[in-house]
Every structure is written in structure tokens, then in C-alpha cells.
Structure 1
């Protein structure tokens, strides 16, 4: 009789839209620090770009405009950065009342190792004028926005200080291989600590300017609007908030009595994650978790908690994290009409039989 091998079982991306492609990482089944490019979340505003040659232009308020070839950039001294990238809309689907936009759950989040050249190294070849205020990055991706009939490229800016930060890079590798096309090949800006919209893909042009950039992906989108019908109190979306996600058990899972491991990840854009606590009684009591390793800047910390449950019933499990800057996950996220920065205490419910 022929021996039959058991089929392999593996996770897949979770589709939100196909055109443009927006897919979530199956975050509950990621148990490594490095997410493969095939499981890295995909966030696009337009269809994928199409280009047959590549040059990177650096211009604006510089002493000498310069056009770099990919080969030139790869020949320069390199920097490696391990970092979380989180979409600003991660967990948008949990806001109450609901908001419009991609209804991301918990998987618009990934992590890996990027290699490239410091942005300030490139700007060192061109020089930066004293009047410089921001640096604008234009991607090859373009299309029509729903609020305009005009065709526009994806453009974002960074303050000059953030652009010159020693960990802001123009990357050409991800996890030791060329960046896959769907994640920005051949060059992608990587901005640790900031939400993923800042890490512009398919970088086409870098322009130094002396004013506040007000493109639609800077002044319309990626802005916190705390009021439903007014722009009063609006603030730009920048640094990632303290956050955590329970990976296992899954929400609404049915369990046996006995010992179970509650596990998850926590991350922040401010300093280091310093503490994570778990509650198994809906927030009445909290217990510290065990970290898999010492927290590092820019990356998530993996944690676990051993839970012994002897009584049948329904249980509400919660996780909350704190960082070295004094931020603590709040019971409720700050509502905003575009649904950015959801970071409320994570909550799941399980039933023990």
C-alpha cells in the first residue's frame, strides 16, 4: 500500500481588496521575528506601477542636483535596520462607531530586516541648503483619488531632522534578498518608529523643500480628525503608538480545562516596551508576562503567560503594554474619523468546556 504524506498546512495572507491590492499578515500564526515577504502585509492606494528603467533623482534645496543609479546606491556604505512596519489603519475595524476605509483587523503589521544606504549619505552628495525644512519622497505608483479627478503620485514628506536620522534609510534588501516588487523594489524608504505610510515604496524622486508639504497623502489622508464633521483639532499621523496583540488563543476559541499558554507581541514607536500584563478576568486583575528576550528598539517583543484554568465558563482575556516613554495602552482608542492609530487594550473571549 502506498504511503501517503500528510499535506503541509501553512498560513496565507488575508485579503481586504484586490485592486488595489490590500492584504493582511496572518499575524496570529507568525511565530518568528522575521515575516517572510510572502506573508508581509500589502498596503496600496493605487495599482502597482510599471517602469522598465530606474534612476533616483535628488533635487530641490540642494547644492547640486543628482541622479543616482541603483548600482551606485548599492556600492555605498550600507546600514541594516530591523523594524516593525505597521499600517496606520491597523485594527481600524475595531473602532466604535465604525469608520470608512479598509477594515483592517490585527494583521496590517509585519517585521523584518531592511538593508540600504542612509538617506543622509545620499543627501551628503548633494548638500542641503540651510533653508531646508522637509524632504519629499515621490513613489512611482500613481492614480486617481476618490476625492479628485486628478492623477496623483503617492508623495509623503519627512521633517529634515527625521530625514537625517541615522536609522532612516533608502533600502534595497529585505531579509537578505532584493526587496520584492510588491514591497517597493528596487528602493523603498524605511522610517523606523513611524507608521508605514512614511516608508514610501518604489521611490522615484527625493526633493528637499523649504516649506510644509501639503500633498493629499500628507494633508488630507494620514491625519487624525477627532471630530466627525469638523477638522478642528486635527493632528498629523506620525509615530506608532504603544500596542499589543494576543496571538494565541484565538478569539472565540473553545478550550479544555487545564494549562494554556497565552502568547502575543507588543511594540511601540517610542523607546522600548517595558511591561506587558495579561488579565483573564476581564480587567479586574492583571499579571505580568514573560518576555521571550530583552526588548529592543524598533522591534516587537514576544511574550507569553501560563494560564491554569480549572472551571468551565466564558473568559475575557486582555493584554496591555507600556513603554519607556510612559505610554500605556488605554481601555479605549481615541476615535478619529479616518480610523488611524487604534491601540486600545487587546481583548479576546474564549470558552472553557
Structure 2
């Protein structure tokens, strides 16, 4: 535990809109409180009014309806312990550099979300046979200067993902009402997908029979493999297998002797099967001890490795996670011009003094 008289703080990436990184290297518990949960916004925060406590469901449904927060509180609730990771997490590490918020490693946090499964919610409205996707719109809106127009935040999910039992409309986080900055009163929570899918301040759900083409669906949150071409582009969805070395910090100076290397690892497919470390640039790997502190399909795992440094000098420490689908962190990141999904093998450098 850190000394509470010395507290970590979020790291500011921008103020308008507000984007802040979690102090992930200094957090020791698997459940992250609001004060340390990262913030990712496209616009300024909406002002909460009475109408914000309603959302509508329409389109290709048999019975359009409007729901109030009180309605959801009367329905069967579902709790999901889940991490959220911004698709741009670690963007600052790409080479060549890419434009966008220069996130380091702190655009990730996790906790317990509580709400109602969309699968249960749509039992009240029904779905027509031609239903294909559900378009979610948030109350947040404003000028997107990169696009030169005023927009609201809209994204869609295919029915197969939207109707997963753990895709929920959440109204609580860690047993408390969701805060305004994190999407109150309603936030979509989508397991195993990057955070852009978990729309905040949900205003409406429109069931459509076509593939939604909104700008935050088909322009942003798309992998573009080439600098000057859209060839082979495809959408950002599932979280890549990834890890962070939390301690020691990069470029630390340490004394000769035993040191416990600590970190976290996560994946958007299955679960983390193995975490390995290397001190010889990946020629050989040694397995770390995984500590599953909490039982969840959607959380990170903590890991530790006891290393004894006998000889003074400078060392490069590599870490890679491997999931149950045999996806492993690569030696080189998949470069894409908007800087999404960075998951190159984690690396720190340390100096050992005698």
C-alpha cells in the first residue's frame, strides 16, 4: 500500500475535452476507485438534467419504449467485473509516431459495473426479424475540430455482441451510482472490446437493419495499416493481449540483489494463460507467477517474478503475455496511422549498482 499522505494523481493529456491517465503503476488493488479511473472524452461533459434519466429504444423493434432510471432499478440486475481500456492506450510508444492523445500506459482501469443486460431489456421491446445492429447515442456532443462539424457520439454493436448476457446498461460502479465523468446515469458496458464501444451518457438505442456508418464507427476506431491509403482497413473491436510492468519503473536505479518484478496482463479473448520475462532480448523466457486476485472473465491478472541481479550494469527487461487462444504479445507493434491497439512486448530498462 502507498502512504496515504503521498497520493498518486491522474496524468493530464488534455483539458477540453478532459482526457486523463490512471496512475496505473502506483495502484495496488484490482478494483480501481473513481478518483483513479482514467477519463476519455471526445467532447465536454453534458449537463445532467431530468431528461438524462430517460433513454429510448426504437427502430426495428415491435414495441418502442422509453425507460427511466427507476424502471431499470426494478429489473433483474447483473454485475460484471471488467476492465476498460482505451483503444489508444500506449499510443505514445508507436514508431513512427502517430497523431492523437499521446497515452502512455494508464488509459486502462477496472471495477464492478452493475446494471441490466441488454438481452433482458430487449425482451420488453422485442426485435424484428430484419434487425442487424443497435446504434447507441450519447448525450455528449460538440464540435469535432478534426472533422470540422458538430457531432454527437454514436456507435453501433452487432446483435450478437449487444445481446451477450454481460453486455449491460450500467447505472452503478463499485456499488455507487456512476459518476457524471464516467457516464451517469447510464453507460453501456461491452466486455472484451476496447472502451470506445462502451458508450457513455446513453440517450437512445436505435435498432437498424443495415451497417451503421457514423464517423466514430467508420472513420475513427479503424485500423489503417498504411499512412496514405485506406486499403485493408478494418474496425477496432476486441482488446489485444497485453501487459504492463508496474514495478520497477522504467529507468530505475536499483541495488544489487533480489528484486520482485510486478505487473498486470490482460486479453480480450479467453484468459491470460501465461506471462513470461526475458533478460536476453527474447532469446530465452522465464515464466512469472500469475496471481488471480479476483474471479472474472474480463479482468486483468497480476503477476510477479523474483529476480536476483548479481552483476552491476544496465539491463533491458522484456515481458509478454500469452492468452488461452495462443495470442502472444509480438516483438513489433502492428503500426496503424491512428495508433490503436498497441501491444508490443512490454519493456523497461534498469540500472543495477553494486
- Equivalent of 1:12, from 9, 14, 30? 9
Deviation, 1:70, is: 0.6
**1:14-65 residue CA offsets vs partner (Å, 9 max, x unmatched):** 1100110000001101111101111000000000011311211010100011
Deviation, 1:280, is: 2.3
**1:217-255 residue CA offsets vs partner (Å, 9 max, x unmatched):** 001000000000100000000000000110000000000
**1:52-111 residue CA offsets vs partner (Å, 9 max, x unmatched):** 112110101000110001100111000000011000000000000000000000000001
Partners of 1:260 and 1:209 in 2: CA distance = 55
- Equivalent of 2:40, from 38, 43, 47? 43
Q: Where does residue 317 of structure 1 map in the other structure?
A: 317
Aligned length: 348
**1:310-333 residue CA offsets vs partner (Å, 9 max, x unmatched):** 100000001001011110100011
Matched ranges for 1:74-223 at <5 A: 74-223=73-222
Given the superposition, is the C-alpha separation of residues 147 and 237 from structure 1 closer, same or farther in structure 2, using an over 3 Å criterion?
same
Partners of 1:332 and 1:147 in 2: CA distance = 29
1:33 is aligned to 2:49: no
**1:179-220 residue CA offsets vs partner (Å, 9 max, x unmatched):** 111000101000010000000000000110000001000010
Partners of 1:92 and 1:22 in 2: CA distance = 14
Q: Where does residue 341 of structure 2 map in the other structure?
A: 341
Deviation, 1:7, is: 7.5
Given the superposition, is the C-alpha separation of residues 283 and 145 from structure 1 closer, same or farther in structure 2, using an over 3 Å criterion?
same
Partners of 1:280 and 1:249 in 2: CA distance = 14
Partners of 1:149 and 1:255 in 2: CA distance = 50
1:351 is aligned to 2:348: no
Partners of 1:79 and 1:155 in 2: CA distance = 24
SS at match of 1:170: strand
CA root-mean-square deviation:
1.1
Deviation, 1:296, is: 4.2
Q: Where does residue 3 of structure 1 map in the other structure?
A: none
Partners of 1:212 and 1:175 in 2: CA distance = 34
Query: Contact 2:82–2:296 (CA<8 Å) still a contact in 1?
Result: no
With normalisation by structure 2, the TM-score equals 0.97
Q: Where does residue 72 of structure 1 map in the other structure?
A: 71
Query: Contact 1:84–1:111 (CA<8 Å) still a contact in 2?
Result: yes
- In structure 2, list runs of 5 or more residues that go unmatched: none
SS at match of 1:120: helix
Deviation, 1:285, is: 2.1
**Bigger CA drift: 279-288 or 223-232?**
279-288
Matched ranges for 1:254-333 at <5 A: 254-293=253-292, 296-333=296-333
Deviation, 1:293, is: 2.4
Deviation, 1:282, is: 2.6
Deviating beyond 6 angstroms after TM superposition, the runs of 4 or more aligned structure 1 residues are: none
Query: Contact 1:265–1:301 (CA<8 Å) still a contact in 2?
Result: yes
Partners of 1:303 and 1:148 in 2: CA distance = 42
Deviation, 1:134, is: 0.3
SS at match of 2:334: coil
- In structure 1, list runs of 5 or more residues that go unmatched: 1-5
Query: Contact 1:62–1:128 (CA<8 Å) still a contact in 2?
Result: yes
Query: Contact 1:99–1:339 (CA<8 Å) still a contact in 2?
Result: yes
Q: Where does residue 23 of structure 1 map in the other structure?
A: 20
Q: Where does residue 52 of structure 1 map in the other structure?
A: 49
With normalisation by structure 1, the TM-score equals 0.97
Query: Contact 2:239–2:269 (CA<8 Å) still a contact in 1?
Result: yes
Query: Contact 1:282–1:315 (CA<8 Å) still a contact in 2?
Result: no
